[in-house]
Amino acid sequence: MSGDVEIEYGIEASARPTSDIASLPKNIWGKASTNLNGWGVSARAQFEGTDFTNAAVEIDATNDEADLEIHLEASAGDGFAVKTVSAVKGIDADGACVTFEPRYNVETEESDVVINYSKDGTEMTLTASQDAQSVTLSRQLDDDNRIAPTLNSSGDVSIAWERELGDDNSITTTLTPDESVNVEWKDAAWTATINMPLDGTDITGTNVSIKREVSF
């Protein structure tokens, strides 16, 4: 059986003085969602600015009973071209939550699989492809602190520390030796990111970005 179709839409625009109103929109998007035979299905299209000749399309299908999600990304213009396909399947294993996520990039013909394991405040994520592998072990230290080291098959190591500040606020600091220190501060709808490249123990520069999520 199919249910009602829910429609959402929005626009991302530049806040700057101009007499050219058509130049203000950055992105225009629309989303339709419904339920079909136990599957929650949604389709989202996004246009860059006011160019409606080509759209980025995302299609999601979720079945809660089967604990299965399917995600597809494509482009639509003169034709419909699929870019990536992925699926997430969850299972319970002796009180632990395990998910399997195979992914395939149609354009590059590259594929990998992500396996997540979670139990009693400990999470492990393994990402494996034919050319590279990485593993992240995340441990919830207490109600406010989480630490997550990552090791990849090239021998590179990084470590992330997430600190909950309350009221939907958090700070996540990620250190990648000889590469960068990245600090992400989330304050409800606001997100500030500070990236500091490293050369040994020297900070060689600082990049700052701030964004806010707006729903229409």
> What is residue 12's predicted lDDT score, i.e. its pLDDT?
75
What's the residue count for the chain?
A: 216
C-alpha span between 115 and 68 (Å, rounded): 14
> What is residue 215's predicted lDDT score, i.e. its pLDDT?
58
Q: Which two tokens stand for residue 70?
A: 């399917």
Regarding predicted confidence, which is higher, 158 or 51?
158
> How does pLDDT run across 90-127, given as a tens digit for each residue?
998 888 999 999 999 999 999 999 999 999 889 999 99
Containing 152, the helix (H) or strand (E) segment is strand 145-152
Q: What is the mean pLDDT of residues 53-66?
A: 94
Regarding predicted confidence, which is higher, 147 or 94?
147
> What is residue 2's predicted lDDT score, i.e. its pLDDT?
56
Q: Which two tokens stand for residue 173?
A: 């600091």
CA distances from 131 to 110, 112, 113 (A): 10, 9, 12
> What is residue 93's predicted lDDT score, i.e. its pLDDT?
84
pLDDT higher than threshold 90 for residue 216: no
pLDDT higher than threshold 70 for residue 128: yes
Choose the weakest-confidence range: 11-25, 57-71, 117-131, 161-175.
Answer: 11-25
Contact 176, 200 (CB under 8 A): no
The 3-state secondary structure of 113-145 reads EEEEEEECCEEEEEEEECCCEEEEEEEECCCCE
C-alpha span between 40 and 65 (Å, rounded): 11
Contact 175, 164 (CB under 8 A): no
pLDDT higher than threshold 70 for residue 18: no
> How does pLDDT run across 172-213, given as a tens digit for each residue?
999 999 899 999 999 988 999 999 999 887 888 899 988 877
Contacts of 6 (CB under 8 A, 6+ apart): 32, 33, 34
> What is residue 37's predicted lDDT score, i.e. its pLDDT?
87
Contact 178, 170 (CB under 8 A): no
The type of residue at 53 is: T
Contact 86, 71 (CB under 8 A): yes
* Angle 195-208-46 from CA coordinates, rounded to 5°: 100
Q: Which two tokens stand for residue 141?
A: 């230290």
Mean pLDDT of the chain: 88
